[in-house]
């Protein structure tokens, strides 16, 4: 991409969209959740919301997609709001160097997941958000938080996707039972997992997701949903753990805190400046969006947005 003197997002994003469609190397959609396996991989959308609330979009921007693991950022923010630093007794803050659904480390480390973004860690933060409540109360709180962050009530959970994951979520059940056996799950596995599968099955467009991420920018003009010190820590965890065993590669190529989902979405934050959502359902070998990562690498370089 050639570099104009003053990069203008209204010009940059359509060009980026065109570049993403130049070849057919979309990657493969997630196969282990049957409802997601039917999505056409050849789609791409991007939205950038700047701190002052301006939104620029390009590509497939009106399609609601399954946000999946990106919701782990919102549940972590809520869990920290409810429990504060107590949460860190139950879950760590280190990159795992393992696949997002790996089991082996959980046994080696006696039931304390490495971080809140791998599945085992997110099951623990969901359990913390659930507390002693009914799953529907915890889900209502999560939806309230996300809708307030995004500034719209038009964000919903896809029940068919949640059911599909419940039917085929044997690995997550294994992780939850492991956690339970180590005394690190307060609720029955099916209750915590029911809550977890449902928040993962939330759908958003790229514009809604970029808006929902705006509270992580940390700028005077954005809605204040959590304290600035917590925003910095959420961003630190996104940078070091947000792409699982691909986190180092993402930091190297993009240079921004980011959180991926197996539905092909990525939320990336430019601290003090912007919230970016990309979506392209084909995944790379780490289970993160192939074209989404490529697009973010190009955009960050072009806008000089890397935090390094």
Binding site for ligand DON (CB under 6 A): 68-69, 100-101, 119, 165, 172, 200, 260-262, 287-288
CB of 143 to ligand DON, least distance (A): 16
CB of 260 to ligand DON, least distance (A): 4
94 is in an annotated binding site: no
164 is in an annotated binding site: no
Determine whether 72 is an active site residue: yes
Task: Specify the residue, 74 or 100, whose C-beta has the smaller distance to ligand DON.
Answer: 100
Structure tokens at 58: 């390009």
DSSP 150: H
270 is in an annotated binding site: no
* Residue 11 host element (H or E): helix 9-20
69 is in an annotated binding site: yes
> Of the residues 146, 262, 270, 278, which is catalytic?
262
Nearest residue (beta carbon) to ligand DON = 69
> Of the residues 12, 29, 57, 69, which is catalytic?
69
> Of the residues 196, 222, 259, 275, which is catalytic?
196
- Say how far apart CA 222 and CA 293 lie, in whole Å: 25
> Of the residues 48, 66, 91, 244, which is catalytic?
244
CB of 186 to ligand DON, least distance (A): 19
Task: Specify the residue, 127 or 218, whose C-beta has the smaller distance to ligand DON.
Answer: 127
- Say how far apart CA 131 and CA 116 lie, in whole Å: 16
Task: Specify the residue, 96 or 260, whose C-beta has the smaller distance to ligand DON.
Answer: 260
CB of 32 to ligand DON, least distance (A): 7
Task: Specify the residue, 6 or 170, whose C-beta has the smaller distance to ligand DON.
Answer: 170
CB of 11 to ligand DON, least distance (A): 31
Determine whether 262 is an active site residue: yes
> Of the residues 12, 57, 67, 72, which is catalytic?
72
Task: Specify the residue, 157 or 222, whose C-beta has the smaller distance to ligand DON.
Answer: 157
119 is in an annotated binding site: yes
Angle between helices 71-83 and 135-150 (to 10 degrees): 110
Task: Specify the residue, 12 or 169, whose C-beta has the smaller distance to ligand DON.
Answer: 169
172 is in an annotated binding site: yes
Task: Please list, residue by residue across 240-279, b when 16 or more beta carbons sit within 10 angstroms of its beta carbon and e when fewer do.
Answer: bbbbbbbbeebbebbbbbbbbbbbbbbbbbbbebbbbbbb
CB of 101 to ligand DON, least distance (A): 5
Residue 43: left (phi > 0), alpha (psi -120 to 50), or beta?
Answer: beta
- Say how far apart CA 18 and CA 31 lie, in whole Å: 27
Determine whether 244 is an active site residue: yes
Determine whether 41 is an active site residue: no
CA of 19: how far to CAs of 56, 124, 268, in Å? 17, 40, 20
161 is in an annotated binding site: no
Structure tokens at 81: 């709001």
Show binding-site residues for substrate: 69, 119, 165, 172, 196, 244, 262
Catalytic residue numbers read: 69, 72, 196, 244, 262
Show binding-site residues: 69, 119, 165, 172, 196, 244, 262
């Amino acid at each position: 991409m050639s570099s104009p003197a003053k990069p203008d997002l209204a010009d940059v994003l359509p060009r980026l969209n065109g570049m993403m469609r130049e070849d057919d190397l979309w990657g493969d959609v997630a196969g282990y959740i049957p409802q997601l396996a039917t999505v056409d991989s050849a789609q791409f959308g991007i939205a950038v919301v700047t701190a002052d609330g301006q939104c620029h979009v390009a590509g497939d921007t009106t399609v609601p997609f399954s946000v999946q693991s990106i919701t782990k950022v919102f549940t972590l923010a809520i869990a920290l709001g409810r429990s504060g630093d107590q949460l860190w007794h139950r879950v760590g803050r280190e990159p795992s160097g393992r696949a997002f659904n790996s089991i082996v480390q959980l046994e080696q480390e006696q039931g304390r997941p490495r971080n809140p973004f791998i599945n085992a860690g997110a099951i623990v933060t969901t359990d913390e958000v659930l507390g002693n409540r009914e799953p529907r109360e915890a889900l209502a709180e999560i939806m309230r938080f996300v809708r307030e962050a995004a500034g719209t009530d038009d964000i919903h959970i896809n029940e068919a996707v949640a059911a599909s994951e419940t039917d085929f979520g044997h690995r997550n059940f294994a992780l939850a039972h492991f956690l339970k056996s180590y005394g690190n799950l307060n609720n029955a596995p099916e209750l915590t997992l029911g809550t977890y599968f449902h928040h993962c099955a939330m759908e958003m467009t790229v514009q809604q997701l970029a808006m929902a991420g705006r509270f992580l920018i940390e700028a005077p003009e954005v809605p204040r949903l959590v304290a600035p010190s917590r925003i910095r820590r959420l961003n630190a965890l996104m940078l070091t753990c947000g792409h699982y065993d691909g986190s180092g590669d993402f930091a190297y190529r993009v240079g921004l805190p980011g959180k991926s989902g197996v539905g092909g979405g990525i939320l990336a934050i430019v601290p003090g400046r912007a919230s970016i959502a990309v979506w392209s359902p084909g995944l790379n070998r780490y289970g993160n969006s192939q074209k989404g990562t490529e697009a973010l690498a190009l955009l960050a370089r072009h806008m000089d947005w890397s935090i390094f």
